[in-house]
Chain A
Amino acid sequence: MIDKIQALGHAGLTICQHLGLSGIFLFKTLARRPRPGEGFKLLREQIYTVGVLSLLIILVSSLFIGMVIGLQGYNTLQRFGAEQELGQLLALSVTRELGPVVTALLFAGRAGTALTAEIGLMRATDQLESMEMMAVDPLWRIISPRFWAGFISMPLLAMIFNMGAIYGGYLVGVQWLGIDAGSFWSNMQAAVTFRMDVMNGLIKSLVFGFVVTWIAVYQGYFTVPNAAGISSATTKTVVYSSLAILALDFVLTSMMLKGW
């Protein structure tokens, strides 16, 4: 019994320790002095790796998700003779929830794991230590550009996801199932507000981008420097990011619906 209580206490302390360490790590990363010329070059490279290379999976997924919502929505709405409302259903569900959440989950799987594995491997092969020995700060050179690249890329990817999904729904609803294009678009335009729907979705994706990239770079930086350690760190990135995204989505949605 005592052992179990002790193990529980130990687990609690370990969690607190990790939270504290990740907070300090984040603070140190954010507090690094920016160097405009070189910093911008590093950031640009990382935006390409983290953001541009994630475009394909985001675009393809968004099209299919939009098409599925189109099909399901049409089948449900036509029972009530409300199939013309498909545009509204599609746009609201995508901009408010699916856009930021699914993009973040895909981003964690595609870019988050890549970040963790890359940084973890650099740790395991002494690349980070050798950088420190050459008097180059890895937090500035490696972590900071990756962190900001994730933070900047996520909302842009979410917006692209929104457009892809709406186009997918349009293809199914209008082009295939024959809903009137005029009512599809005008219903959507009438129902979606920039402040409440698009903007809130954008805020969510900013928060998710921040958290997912933070988790990914933290797990990579503090990985146990061997094959099992890197494997465990990448798994943790996906698990923790997914849980954080879903939990934060609930918190943010409830705050947004209450008008903050």
Chain B
Amino acid sequence: MHTDPDILVAARNLSFERSDRLIFSNINLEIHKGKITAIMGPSGTGKTTFLRLISGQLTPSSGSVTVSGIELCRLRLRELYKARRQIGMLFQSGALFTNLNVFENVAFPLREHTQLSEQMVRDLVLIKLQAVGLRGARDLMPSELSGGMARRVAMARALMLDPQLMLYDEPFAGQDPITMGMLLQLIKKLNEALGLTSVIVSHDVQETASIADYIYVIADGKIVGQGTPEELFNNITPAVRQFLRGLPDGAVPFHYPAKDYEEDLLS
């Protein structure tokens, strides 16, 4: 268990296996309070899995992941849910409830966890919707929202219980440049204004690097590079260079492991 009060999330000797495949091997990382930390890496390296390990949805095969010194995956259901009120998570799909409108989606955590009056719920929801610029969209259904709007609504919902830690799972994937800019600005502003600690999992290098305070690059289950964005762009490790510059082949091979091509064609 760590003692540094500046560290909110810490992974110690973390290994995680799924279906006999090693996703993480002996990873150590720290996420500092009040900072935006990005976890980057090629698709399929288990970035989303890492978020699920932080939030206690998955249990490490060995080692530990702690939030404020607590291993969420070891908690009993009631304590786990209590701890999760301090964590907000933005899913890649937004994960809005399709049978509820925007207002009710954002009000959902309040209605579940508080006994506030209807007027108070209304005010709080409108404040959060205003923060993400969607106060006017309160009556729309999720099916009527664009991808970017859905993510902003989901962000408002995730912030509803005023969490300490925000986890963003691929927040920029598949977004147009305007929406991407909007989301970037929103993540940065909210992190500063609300004093959050943010963890962004993404493979959008330039965008994420523009707002991140610290970046970890993961490939093949290991941390292959870490540092501030400037430090990382000067990093000469082949895997880091390949990822940051978007080279199709290199330390991370273009081809999925297979037997010899010629042998395969002739067999």
- What per-residue 1/0 map shows which CB atoms of B130-171 lie under 8 Å from chain A? 000000000000000000000000100110010000000000
The reply on A21 being an interface residue by CB < 8 A is: no
Contacting residues, chain B, for A135 (C-beta < 8 A):
81-82, 84-85, 109, 112-113, 161
Q: Which residue of A lies closest to B82 (CB)?
A: A135
Q: Restricting to A103-141, which residues have a CB under 8 Å from any CB of B?
A: 121, 125-127, 129-130, 132-137, 141
Cα A136 to Cα B158 with chains together (Å): 13
Residue of A nearest to B55 (CB): A133
CB A118 to nearest CB in B, in angstroms, measures 9
Shortest CB–CB separation between residue A40 and chain B, in angstroms?
Answer: 15
> With A127-B98, A129-B57 given, is the CB distance from A134 to B93 under 8 Å?
no
Tell me, yes or no, whether B97 is within 8 Å of chain A by CB: yes
Q: A132-B57, A133-B84 are in contact. Are A126 and B77 (CB under 8 A)?
A: no
Q: Are A127's CB and B97's CB within 8 A?
A: yes
Q: Which of A129, A134, A137 has the most CB of B within 10 A?
A: A134
For the complex, give the distance between the alpha carbons of A243 and B19 in Å: 32
Complex formed: what's the CA distance from A141 to B92 in Å?
23
State the total of A-B contacts with C-beta under 8 angstroms: 51
Mark each residue of chain B from 65 to 87: 1 if its CB lies under 8 Å from any CB of chain A, else 0: 00000000000010001101101
- Evaluate whether A126 and B95 lie within 8 angstroms (CB atoms) in the complex, with A134-B109, A134-B161, A137-B77 already known: yes
**CB-based nearest A residue for B90:** A130
Contact status of A133 and B112, CB under 8 A, knowing A127-B97, A127-B98: no
- Taken together as a complex, chains A and B put the C-alpha atoms of A139 and B84 apart, in Å, by 17
Q: Which of A127, A132, A135 has the most CB of B within 10 A?
A: A135
Q: Tell whether B11 is near chain A: CB-to-CB under 8 Å.
A: no
Query: A113 → chain B, closest Cβ, in Å?
Result: 17
Asked if A134 and B91 sit within 8 Å, CB to CB, the answer is no
How far apart sit A126 and B96, CA to CA, in the bound complex (Å)? 8
Contact with B along A61-76 (1 / 0, CB 8 A): 0000000000000000
Contact A134 B84 (CB under 8 A): yes
B residues near A125, Cβ cutoff 8 Å: 93, 95, 98
Query: Of B92, B98, B108, which is within 8 A of A134 by CB?
Result: B108
Q: Is A137 in contact with B81, judged by CB distance below 8 angstroms?
A: yes
Is B40 in contact with chain A by the CB < 8 A criterion?
Answer: no
Q: How far is the CA of A133 from the CA of B67 in the complex (A)?
A: 14
B89 contacts the other chain (CB 8 A): yes
- Which residues from chain A sit less than 8 Å from chain B, CB to CB? 121, 125-127, 129-130, 132-137, 141
| 3 nearest CB pairs, A to B | A130-B95, A126-B95, A135-B81
